[in-house]
Chain A
Amino acid sequence: MDIELSADDLKFRDDVRAFFKAHEYKPGQDYAQWRLDWFKAAREKGGWDVPKWPKEFGGPGWSPTQHYIWEQETARANLPWDLPFGVGMVAPIIMNYGNAEQQERFLPDIRARTVNWCQGYSEPGAGSDLASLKTKAELTADGKHYIVNGSKIWTTMAHIADWIFCLTRTDASGKKQEGITFLLFPMKQDGIEVKPIITLGGSHSVNTVHFTDVLVPVENRIGEEGKGWTYAKGLLAHERTGLAGVSRSLVALEKLKHQAGTVKRGNGSLLDDPSFRAKLAKLEVDLQALEFTELRSLARAASGQQPGPESSILKLKGTEIQQRIAHLTMEAAGPHMAPWGGIHVGPKFASGGTQSYLGSRAFTIYGGASEVQKDIIAKNVLGIRTQGGSN
């Protein structure tokens, strides 16, 4: 056992830090331009704009340890905004299952961040049970187009997206996982209606999307008709065993400690309050453990082994801890968690804390609710055959 980073890894870390420093956003700069320039510069570093892409598609080909270092450093740096749907989600599917023409057509814009994507998976009746989706795609008589009808829900950033990658049903006769087809199409066209859903914190990022006779050329289909579930599932599994966000949580916890230190209690601060301290300490204990769970998982991947059982708990534990940090931040604000509507009263972090807490409730719902994740672990990791479960 050895937990030291190698000399090469340390050099890589310094290199990452130097890059972030050299390309920091400077107040007054045109943000949109800085953002595109940043990705360009990262690209010139050898694929740092697409860390997880395979080498043959221009990725950096990092080791798992290098990925981990990158995640640690990005948690502390102020990177340009980046939606996960393009580079992180649709691109791997296009790389794995799309044809050369589709790769040529879509990947460059995705990589340059000039085209925004959204994900059309969940439907009003198909949440955790995603495979029961009903949005219909029918082939026209001439076989040149699909006609898409139906509704998607929780579609993040659909209101700004240029394109959608969408799971549709082309055949309802067999098992629900069969007959699902993976289509790509532009959002700005007749027959697509986007309606905002306002979430608990009062903000708008998710939407419902309705399709009425939307025409999609067959050349926008990824892979074979009816195989869309297989393509999407591979990515979902990849998402679920992703990292636990430990670096970000460590940064958030540090910030919380600092914030609690600014809340006066008697002659000291909230950090002197025994019950608050105990909750902070408990969070730190759990994060210390999770950090090493993540490292154990990583070490296995680094040596080319299959993910071990420990990797299955990363998302569950990670999101739970993120929620607890958000809750404790709100609690630190005391009576000042309540003032709302852009008003700043009491400690500086107060209104943001409540907003983050409300937002954090979705962490254990989207991308597969925690209950479903546990079913999957029960089956795949513990080998339990469940009765009528979700898998």
Chain B
Amino acid sequence: MNFDLTEEQQLLEDSVARFVADNYALEKRIKLAGSSRGFSAEHWQTFAELGWLAVPFDEDDGGIGGGPVETMVVMEQFGRGLVLEPYLATVVLGGGVLRRTLEGERRAELLGKLIEGKLQLGFAHSEEQARWDLEDVVSSARQDGDGWVLNGAKTVVYNGGNADLLIVSARSSGGQMDTDGISLFLIDPKTKGVEVQAYPTVDGLRAAEVKLTDVKVVAAALLGAAGKAWPIIEAVADEAVLALCAEALGGLEVLYKDTVQYTQERQQFGHPMTDFQTVSHRLVEMFMEYEQCKSLLYRATMEYAQNGHEAARTLSACKHLIGTAGKFIGETAVQLHGGMGVTEELRLGHFFKRQLVIESQFGNADFHLEKFAA
């Protein structure tokens, strides 16, 4: 039994932590979030140079052959800085699909570009009626000669407006809720009939609505076998859940620790706030929840590394706990900061908003509790 990071993992964590410390002070983040694409192209090149974009890819593909633990290490540190660069969209989701589907020259070309930091991706899967049901797909793919014609609408596609290529899911057969019959396509957002409406999200990230109207794509746009995309969607969603939980954990650490510090410094009624038991006990509860989340994240990550999708139940447990703890720790951090907690002036408000959005991605606490209980 050993929960320590390996030497390589520790180096990775240290380097991401250093980057966050150097580049993600609140003012810098606010400025970056308001810039035209909402993140820094320069940072993205740094990620490439430091090998972070190569983390989940095989050495044969030019990657470093990392697994879920390495991704967790990176995402947790990103979470501590509220990093804006679209690592989840491009590396975890987009890269996750491409490394499972591409072959030959195209594989070498696109994964090469991704690892070099020259390719931005968006995973255009969710649809409005689906909420978080991954199998609920009504966008359609109709075979047309050698190619395909796509129709439908995808919603809240993170990084959708910045993506050089979009991975779009569409139903080529079966009914609305069938896992069978979903296909994935790699399309250029400039293709005729693709309409991308980009917008900011409440946590400072970027997303987009993607409309597909009689979009004609060539046969090679199909990723993997027609109608057989479900296991791939399931796998990248599992990895996204783990990545989001790791990011959330990093944020929860900041939220509770900032609150511990603030309440010790803030004097009211002639005492530091922590002299009042109602405050100190709640700090302890925040800390306890944080530690429990960390344990379940380790459990889920390690089980997933060993057993893949068979670990889904533990992943749901983890997303549930992170969701409920995120609400409790976030709301308590705001409350104990008093008026300062509800402003944009302290970083905790920004961390709080990121927790709220993570709760809205790939299923909230209730959704995952139901999956766990099923």
Contacts and interface: CB of A to CB of B under 8 A. Distances in A.
**Chains A and B come from one and the same complex:** yes
Interface of A: 122, 125, 127-129, 132, 153-154, 197-200, 202, 206, 263-266, 273-276, 327, 330-331, 333-341, 343, 345-346, 354, 357-358, 361-362, 364-366, 369-371, 374, 388-390
B335 A361 contact: yes
A340 B356 CA distance: 13
Interface of B: 126, 128-129, 131-132, 155-156, 177, 199-203, 205, 207, 209, 267-271, 275-276, 278-279, 327, 331, 334-335, 338-339, 341-345, 349, 352-353, 356-357, 360-361, 364, 366, 369-370
Contacts of A343: 199-200
Contacts of A364: 335
A334 B132 contact: yes
A251 to B, nearest CB: 24
B199 A337 contact: no
Given A343-B199, A358-B353, A361-B341, 7 more contacts: A127-B339, A129-B270, A198-B345, A265-B131, A335-B132, A339-B156, A389-B276
A370 B332 CA distance: 12
Contact of A340 (B199, B268, B341, B345): B199
Contacts of B267: 125
Contacts of A361: 331, 334-335, 341-342
Given A337-B202, A338-B207, A197 B343 contact: yes
A196 to B, nearest CB: 10
Contact of B345 (A197, A275, A388): A197
Contacts of B338: 127-128, 365, 369
A198 B87 CA distance: 29
B201 A200 contact: no
A366 B339 contact: yes
A316 to B, nearest CB: 13
A264 B129 contact: yes
Contacts of A362: 339, 342
Contact of B343 (A199, A263, A371): A199
16 contacts: A125-B267, A132-B268, A153-B339, A197-B345, A198-B345, A200-B352, A202-B344, A335-B156, A336-B156, A338-B357, A339-B199, A345-B156, A345-B199, A364-B335, A374-B278, A388-B275
Nearest to B370: A275
Contacts of B369: 275
Nearest to A360: B342
A276 B366 contact: yes
Contact of A338 (B132, B177, B201): B201
Contact of B344 (A199, A339, A340, A370): A199
B331 A128 contact: no
A337 B209 CA distance: 14
Contacts of B345: 197-198
B344 to A, nearest CB: 5
Contact of A336 (B155, B278, B364): B155
Contacts of B278: 371, 374
A374 B282 CA distance: 15
Contacts of A274: 370
Nearest to B358: A338
Contacts of A263: 131
Contacts of A369: 335, 338
A372 to B, nearest CB: 9
A206 B344 CA distance: 12
Given A335-B132, A354-B202, A369-B338, A200 B156 contact: no
A129 B334 CA distance: 18
Contacts of B200: 339-341, 343
Contacts of A129: 268-270
B95 to A, nearest CB: 22
B269 A339 contact: no
Nearest to B337: A365
B370 to A, nearest CB: 7
Nearest to A338: B201
Contacts of A132: 268-270
A331 B364 contact: yes
A365 B279 contact: no
A274 B371 CA distance: 13
B155 A335 contact: yes
A334 B364 contact: yes
A346 B360 contact: no
Contacts of A128: 268-269, 338
Contacts of A389: 269, 276
Contacts of A327: 327
Nearest to A344: B199
Contacts of B334: 200, 361
B276 A371 contact: yes
B367 to A, nearest CB: 8
B201 A339 contact: yes
Contacts of B202: 337-340, 354, 358
B268 A127 contact: yes
Nearest to A347: B128
Contacts of A388: 269, 271, 275
A197 to B, nearest CB: 5
A231 to B, nearest CB: 21
A118 B112 CA distance: 61
A345 B209 contact: yes
Nearest to A266: B177
Nearest to A278: B366
A335 B126 contact: yes
B131 A335 contact: yes
Contacts of B370: 274-275
Contacts of A338: 156, 201-203, 205, 207, 357, 360
Contacts of B126: 335
